[in-house]
Structure formats: structure tokens, C-alpha cells
Chains A and B, each alone.
Chain A
Amino acid sequence: MPVEQTQLLYRHRNVPGINRLETYVAHGGYEQFRKAVVMDPEAIIEEVKVSGLRGRGGAGFPTHIKWNAFPKNRDVEHYFIINADEGEPGTAKDRDLMNALPHLLVEGCLCSMVAVRAAKCYIYIRGEYIEPWKSVQKAINEAYAAGFLGKNVLGSGLDFDIYTHLGAGAYECGEESALMSSLMGERGMPRLKPPAAPLPMISGVWKRPSVVNNVETAATIPAILELGGAKYAEIGVGSPRSRGTKLFSISGHVNKPGIYEIVLGTPFSEVVDIAGGVRDGHQLKTYIPGGSSMGFAPPTPLDYPFDYEGIPQNTQTLGLGSGGLMIFDETTDVFKVTHRLVDFYHHESCGKCTPCREGLDWLSKIYARIASGGGREQDIDLIWDICDSIRGKSFCALGEGAIWPVMTSLRLFRHEYLSYIHHGRNTYSEAGQLGA
């Protein structure tokens, strides 16, 4: 029996006009905020803790731990910041959510703001996302008009303001400390992390308590308040530490690519089936489970619980990440795909630290040389050495994310590299071979 796919965030995804306040309210919208605004912030954080919610932006860090680190008073301004910079290749869920369900994001922000005692929220949206930005700004304006934003909201004595803020093209601004720099009008470079620096929840943007959460994380809060943390935690068929549902962007060689809300722990093979299966007449060669930084996984095993803990160790990928599942069939030239990713990370490296800046520059040159037929066998060891020089030594996680697709592809598809080195082309993908 396939897992029953409970829909929480996307329950009303296809209701016509659900992007308008009227329709959203007619479907129970803002009821959870009405509840939250009179709740003790600690009680909200407790529900989120019991729910087991983990950040949906990529790192999977428990949300309640971040929120609990805020000062328990309103002596200074607190900031709630939404990461809508979505730039991880393969990830398209936040765009869809903001286009289709902007009020769910606004309500999620409001509930979260009560929990962290913030009166101000900034939604940092990548510069290309004009449509989502307009959609969200329109929802914010409707929420002001309806009295969900503004002064003394619903007679609570609390003020709430939400602002949108457009980025201008820099993948690195998705990294939370770089995002905060960018929000303050600086270059999008990351900052020192705790313990070398104070927690953002103590001193974040403008040296005030701040937290950065992903769009989907905030949009999940109303469902948690509606069901109660305990009921939410019952959803999930895999690990006890992976609870609830998650949005997956499933792309590449599947019959029905799209954004799907999937119960965590659903067997991987079922997840692929939900997207219509590998495209007709083709076979699974490899896949990236959660955005390009997670790396490539082998086509077996397939029947494992797809959640934070379930991805088998033997895949050596970094895990579920942002939920950007990319499927590749036997026609895929994995060397070429990796080359494209190396160039992407090289282009997006912010240049702050040497291992990432220099290492990626070098990798990019080596891949270009191999691709143009000038590769040597020693290049394979050289690629490993460069990865070693970045691994664990980069200032932020971009460097680590850059070498993961490199190392996993080299481990699984070394023969494709050798084919380029010896023949100047990929004889395996040309022949539609899955492996060596």
C-alpha cells in the first residue's frame, strides 16, 4: 500500500483565487494567527518543538532551538527574516509557494513573529523572482488592509510589519549570514559563526536579535498550530527525527516533473512514482536527492525512507537538503553535468576565502581541459587533492557544497572521466550505459 500523502501546505494549492485574502480566509486562513497572537510565545515554541519541525531551507536544523535562543522580552527590536533567495540548482518550491499561496507565507511569518517576539519581518527574495515578489507584496498589502498587519493588531497590543526586500543576483546570499549582510546593504559575504561570534538570535541584523528561516519553514507553522505539535509529529513514516511533510521539486528525467508535498519517510521509489516515474523507455542512472550541493547517488537501493536520516550512507550524499530531487537517466553525461556545476560554484564563490576561491578556479580549469580533450590521467588525483584542500577548510558551506557533486560523481562515474581523457568524449552516455 502506498503511503497516504497527507497534504498540509498544499491542501488548497489549486483552489482558484487562493492567492487572494478573501478566498484564503474562506478556507480557514488566518485562523491560526488569530490563535497565535494571544498565545504565550513559549507555548508556540513548545508546539514547534513537539512537532519535530526542522528547517526546510537545506540544513534541517530544528526550528525550535533557534527560536528558543531569543531573549524572552521585547526590550530591543527583534527581526524575523525569511530566506526566499532560492538559488540552489534543482530547487523551485519556494517560488511555487510564493506564487500560489502568498497568504500562507504571510500567516506563517505572523505566527513565527509572535513566537520570537518580533514586530518586524523582512522577506529576502532573489532578484529574479519578480512574480513571487509581487504576489507576496500584494498579500502583505491585503493583510494590512484586513488588519492582520499594522499597529495593535486584532487588539493584541502588538504591532507587526512585514517588508519584502529584493536581492540582486548572488547565490551566496542564500547563506544566512551573507543574507543578513545583504539585507543591511552590504556585499553578500558570510560572517564568522558561533562560537567565534555571537548567535544571530542575540546579535544579528543591526546587532539585534534575528533569525533567518526558509519560506517553507514559516509556511509550515500554521499547520503545526492547527493540528497541534503532537499530531503533526505523527505524520511521517520514516525516522522519528523526520516528521511531517516536505515540498520536493522533482526535476530532470521524470514523466511528471513538478512540486509535490510528500510525507517524510515515503520510500524513495514511491517518490519517483509520484513524479510519474523515470521518463518512459529510460532507466535511472543517478540522482541528486536535494539540490546540487548534496551530490550524486547510485541507482540502488531504491526502497529506503526518503527523509533526513533515511538516505543510505553508501550513497555518500549530504542528504535531503532543500528537497530539489533531480533524476538523471542513462542518456546523461555525468561528467558534463558535474562540469556545469563546477562552473556554477566557481561563478558564485564570493571570494572571501582562499580554499574555495582558488580551488574552484582550478577545478573549473581542469574540467574545461578534460572536456576539450586535453585531459590526463593524473587529473583525477588532482581533482581529489583540490577537493581535499577545500573540504572542511572553507569559510562557509558553499565550498563544501561545491565539492560534493565533484567527489560523488568521480566516485561513481570515474569511467566517464577516463573516457573523456582517453577518447575526448563520453562513450558511456553515448551508448546509453548505466555504469561501467
Chain B
Amino acid sequence: MAKFTDDTKRRLDALIARYPTAKAALLPALWVAQEVYGGWLPPEAMQEVADHLGVPASDVAGVATFYTMYNKRPVAHHRIEICQNVACMVNGADELIGYCERKLGIHAGEMTADGTFSVERVECLGACCHAPALMVGSTYYENVTEQTVDKLIAELANMPSESVNPPQSQMPEQGEF
């Protein structure tokens, strides 16, 4: 079932207008599709993007699979993405990941049975000077401690999801804000 509404299509057209070709709008269009489809890109989502942009569906799939931030499977409501790269690692990232795993009863890469949380290892977030760092949705948490994690998980447990509505799709139009 197609999910793109007139509003979705209007947003996509505004994105296309930023580039000399419709194909160039593919990355931002996939962000929008990921939002509309609840945080991931099933084949129908890619097909709708392909149809609207006039790009072959195989090209859309090739691009969507190349980039790690386009989800090919449903994701947790709150994704706790912890940097495992070296500036964070020498400042306790592995211990922090272990703490989150134990607290939520899952391994990194998994989500809780109710789909509320996942813990993921990610690469350098550009927060190396405030290590260890993690990100949930669009928000960075830096110099993270076990106490930060406790507080964060308690707060997020009852909060609407940001991850499922990727902030990356909220591209304001030129002149908006």
C-alpha cells in the first residue's frame, strides 16, 4: 500500500528543486521515505521513491543498501548508538556498552522484546574530545557515565520516539525555520 501523501510528494518536489537532476534528491528523499514508513525502508518505500523521482528501482535499492543509516529492517523506538572508536574506547566505551547491555538485557545490535530500546556500536561520532559519546535520535550525549545512562533510559522509556521519525527528514525549505 502506497504511503506517500500529497504532502509527502510536495516535500519531495521541494527537495528535487534544489538540484539540477531529480536523481540527486535521492538521499534526502530516502530520509523522507524512512520517516513515512516508520523508521525503515521496506521495498514499497524504495519503489515509491523510485516512482516519484523517475529513477530505476534497482538504483534506489543499490543506494539504500550502500548507506548504513538507511534501515533495512524495523528499528527500536530509541536507538542508543554508542561510539566504539578509539578516542571513546580508551575512555571507557566498551565498559559503557557492556553496562547498557546488562541494564537492558540485550546484546549490542539487538533490541528489547517490546521494541523500545536497542544498543548499537557505531563509529566515530566527531565527539572525540568529550569521550565517551553516544547518540539517540539527533541528540548527542557526551562524557557519558553510567549515571547518564540510567537517567537517559528512565527518561526515554516514556518518551515518543525520535528515531522512528528520523530528524534527517525534517529538511526545512530554503528560507524556513
Contacts and interface: CB of A to CB of B under 8 A. Distances in A.
Interface of A: 77, 86-92, 94-95, 126-131, 137-138, 140-141, 144-145, 161, 163-171, 182-188, 206, 249-253, 257-259, 292, 324, 326, 328, 331-332, 336-337, 340-341, 344, 347-348, 350
A91 B128 contact: yes
Contacts of A129: 126
B175 A184 contact: no
B174 A144 contact: yes
A169 B69 contact: yes
Given A141-B177, A292-B86, A206 B168 contact: no
A91 B123 CA distance: 12
A167 B26 CA distance: 11
A184 B21 contact: yes
B67 A168 contact: yes
Interface size class of B (residues with CB under 8 A): 35 or more
B24 A326 contact: no
Given A127-B168, A169-B70, A170-B66, 8 more contacts: A87-B124, A87-B126, A141-B176, A186-B59, A252-B91, A257-B128, A326-B86, A341-B85
Contacts of A259: 129
Given A128-B135, A145-B175, A89 B85 contact: yes
A251 B24 contact: no
Given A90-B86, A141-B176, A185 B26 contact: yes
Nearest to A248: B129
Contacts of B28: 165-166
A88 B124 contact: yes
B138 interface: yes
B128 A92 contact: yes
B177 A206 contact: no
A179 B177 CA distance: 27
B177 A337 contact: no
A168 B90 CA distance: 27
27 contacts: A88-B124, A90-B128, A91-B126, A128-B126, A137-B177, A140-B174, A141-B176, A141-B177, A163-B174, A164-B171, A166-B168, A168-B68, A168-B69, A168-B168, A169-B69, A170-B67, A183-B24, A185-B27, A185-B55, A188-B66, A188-B67, A252-B86, A252-B87, A292-B85, A340-B85, A340-B86, A344-B124
Nearest to A95: B126
Interface of A is mostly: mixed
Interface in B114-134: 122-131
B54 to A, nearest CB: 11
A89 B174 contact: no
A251 B131 contact: yes
Nearest to A259: B129
A110 to B, nearest CB: 15
A183 B62 CA distance: 15
A183 B89 CA distance: 32
B123 A171 contact: yes
B167 interface: yes
B126 A168 contact: no
A88 B131 CA distance: 15
A206 B21 contact: yes
Sorted nearest first, the 3 A-B pairs with minimum C-beta distance are: A185-B26, A168-B67, A169-B69
B127 A95 contact: yes
